[in-house]
Amino acid sequence: MNLKKVLTRDAVMIGLIGTSKNEIIKELVGLIVKNGSDLDEKSLLKAVFDREAQMSTGMKNGIAIPHGKTNDVSELHAVIAVSAVPVDFECLDKKPARIFVMTISPASHTGPHLQFLAEVSGLLTRDDLREKILAAENEDELLKIFLQGQA
């Protein structure tokens, strides 16, 4: 998948201010809603919280990938953000997360969702890329790191 088709300058954020899992999810959904036309925030929150109730999407190495599926969207929406402080996201390695990738996709179309998650997950396995992401000083730099990391 070409991340340039999904990630734009408006889909990245540095300096999430939430200090809990729920606050981070709400902030990320808010960013998706801000960038999408006619998206229902309550519906997106429900999709993500329902998925999170099944199993935490906190991964390892300071990464969490909260996501949800709902037929209230017609295409994949994604955002990438970095938190100012580590947040307990019930990660597999029991460590807090600072790098967050959220996707909302149609329940009826799993292909783009899986492709996006596979691409981003592959990038985030790289120690050097995670360090650059955490050191990014602004959203333009963060986006550039992801897009160049894909090359």
pLDDT in tens, 96-118: 999 999 999 998 877 777 888 88
| 3-state class (DSSP) for residue 67 | strand
Across the chain, what does the average pLDDT equal? 91
Digit-coded pLDDT (tens) for 1-34: 567 778 888 999 999 999 999 999 999 999 999 9
In the chain, the amino acid numbered 135 is A
Rounded Cα distance between 110 and 90, Å, is 25
Neighbouring CB atoms inside 10 A of 82's CB total 20
Q: Are 73 and 104 in contact (CB under 8 A)?
A: yes
| 3-state class (DSSP) for residue 35 | helix
User: Catalytic site residues?
Assistant: 67
Rounded Cα distance between 77 and 118, Å, is 15
3-150: CATH architecture: 3-Layer(aba) Sandwich (3.40)
Q: Where are the domains of the chain?
A: 3-150
Q: Are 67 and 114 in contact (CB under 8 A)?
A: no
Q: For the full predicted model, state whether its pTM sits above 0.75.
A: yes
